[in-house]
Amino acid sequence: MKTKIIGTIFILAVLAGGIFLLSGKDKETTKKLETKVGDKIYVAVEETGEIAVIDAKDRNVIKRIDLSAEIGGIKIGFMPHNVQVAPDNKSVWVTANAMDMNKEKISFFKIQKVYPTQLLFGMLGVARADEGHGEEGEIKVNDEIIVINPLTDKIIRRIDMGTDLHLSHISLSPDSRYAIAAAQTKGIVYKINAKTY
């Protein structure tokens, strides 16, 4: 009986020690990941619509994050204006504006057959695109706040904010619970729950 009790105590001690060691590794792994995120610098590259990820130690670009998205079957570029790493190092927030910061307009025109005699005698009418000829369709492209996972450097969320806002700056509360973004053109400040967005 004593042998069984001693054996059981030994097994429990080994299990407790294993759990203790594993729990320390989780904290150690988390600390290493935070350090890794802390060793990165995120830079908004407006001209190319990208976020450059730079190694803080050797100052080399280690990755480029393309902010473009396919909307309505068309690739739309987004110009980043401001980028901020959350204080808890769990997310990176970017204000991103549609590249021309206006509605993207797509016009479809029917092409008519032109005969040589029409060209010769000047019988071909000239139509301008802004005169409303043809069928037109519009795609409204919203400015966005883009959230990036700093461990993978991949976009994890796009938050549509509205058109023609010119989202300028973003900041996060010290507890990383809220993101505050400014729309320069409209004079609006947005408060976003950074945990549920």
pLDDT in tens, 100-112: 534 443 333 334 4
Q: What confidence tier does 197 reach under pLDDT thresholds 50, 70, 90?
A: confident
Does an H or E element contain 117, and which? Answer: helix 116-120
Q: How far apart are CA 7 and CA 68, in angstroms?
A: 62
Q: How far apart are CA 120 and CA 174, in angstroms?
A: 73
Q: Give residue-wise pLDDT tens across range 137-147.
A: 566 789 999 99
Q: What pLDDT is recorded for position 138?
A: 61
Listing DSSP states for 56-108 in one string gives: TTT--EEEEEE--EEETTEEE-EEEEEEEE-TTSS-EEEEEEETTSS-EEEEE
Mean pLDDT, range 59-67, rounded to an integer: 96
pLDDT at 150 exceeding the cut of 60: yes
pLDDT at 43 exceeding the cut of 80: yes
Specify the long-range contacts of residues 175-182, CB closer than 8 Å, at least 24 apart.
175/87, 175/88, 176/86, 176/87, 176/88, 176/90, 176/91, 179/93, 179/145, 181/95, 181/145
Q: Which amino acid is at 55?
A: D
Between 108 and 119, the higher pLDDT residue:
119
pLDDT at 195 exceeding the cut of 60: yes
Domains and CATH numbers, the chain: 39-193 (2.130.10.10)
- Convert 68-80 to b/e letters by CB count within 10 Å (16 or more is b): ebeeeeeebbbbb
pLDDT at 85 exceeding the cut of 70: yes
Q: How far apart are CA 38 and CA 25, in angstroms?
A: 19
Q: What pLDDT is recorded for position 37?
A: 81
Classify strands 154-162 and 143-149 as parallel, antiparallel or unpaired.
antiparallel
Q: Considering only 3-7, 40-44, 168-172, which range has the smallest mean pLDDT?
A: 3-7
